Amino acid sequence: MKFTIVIHGGAGTILKEDMTSELEQAYTSALNDALEAGYSVLETGGSALDAVKTATIILEDNTLFNAGRGSVFTKKGLHEMDAAVMEGKSLLAGAVAGVRNIRNPIELAIEVMQHSNHVFLSGEGANDFAINRGIKVEPDEYFFSQFRYDQWKSIRDSDSYSLDHSQDKVEKLMKHRKFGTVGAVACDQTGTIAAATSTGGMTNKKYGRIGDTPVIGSGTYANNHTCAVSCTGHGEPFIRAVAAYDVSCLMEYKGYTVQQASEEVILKKLVELNGEGGLIAVDAQGTPAMVFNSAGMYRAFKSSDGSHEVAIYK
Ligand code: ASP
Average pLDDT, integer, range 176-197:
90
Q: Is the pLDDT of residue 248 over 60?
A: yes
Q: Are strands 120-122 and 93-99 parallel, antiparallel or unpaired?
A: parallel
Average pLDDT, integer, range 116-138:
98
How many A from CA of 98 to the centre of ligand 1? 13
User: Phi, psi (5° rounding) for residue 242?
Assistant: 45, 55
Q: Which atom of ligand 1 is nearest to the CA of 181?
A: 8
Q: Are strands 277-283 and 120-122 parallel, antiparallel or unpaired?
A: unpaired
Opening angle at CA 72, ends 67 and 78, nearest 5? 110
Q: In this structure, which CATH number among 3.10.560.10, 1.20.1090.10, 3.20.20.100, 3.60.20.30 belongs to the domain 4-306?
A: 3.60.20.30
Average pLDDT, integer, range 197-215:
93
Q: Is the pLDDT of residue 167 over 50?
A: no
Please report which confidence band the pLDDT of residue 305 belongs to, taking 50, 70 and 90 as the band edges: very high
Answer yes or no: are the C-beta atoms of 265 and 292 closer than 8 Å. Answer: no
Average pLDDT, integer, range 239-263:
98
Candidates 1, 57, 78, 6; CA nearest to 222 is 6
Most ligand 1 atoms within 8 A of CB, residue of 122, 151, 176, 181 to mutate:
181
Pocket of ligand 1 (CB under 6 A): 10, 66, 179-181, 199, 201-202, 211-213, 219, 232-233, 235
pTM over 0.75: yes
Indicate if 181 belongs to the active site: yes
Domain map (residue ranges) of the chain: 4-306
Average pLDDT, integer, range 112-136:
98
**Which residue CA neighbors atom 7 of ligand 1 most closely?**
232
Please report which confidence band the pLDDT of residue 150 belongs to, taking 50, 70 and 90 as the band edges: confident
Q: Tell me: the pLDDT tens digits for 62-83?
A: 999 999 999 988 889 999 999 9
How many A from CA of 265 to the centre of ligand 1? 16
pLDDT computed for residue 162 by the predictor: 26
pLDDT computed for residue 95 by the predictor: 99
The mean predicted confidence, pLDDT, of the chain is 92
- Residue 110, Cβ neighbours under 10 Å: how many? 26
Out of 181, 197, 199, 287, which one is annotated catalytic? 181
Q: Is the pLDDT of residue 49 over 50?
A: yes
Residues 6 or more apart whose CB falls under 8 angstroms from that of 212 comprise 218, 219, 231, 233, 235, 236, 238, 239, 243
Average pLDDT, integer, range 12-41:
94
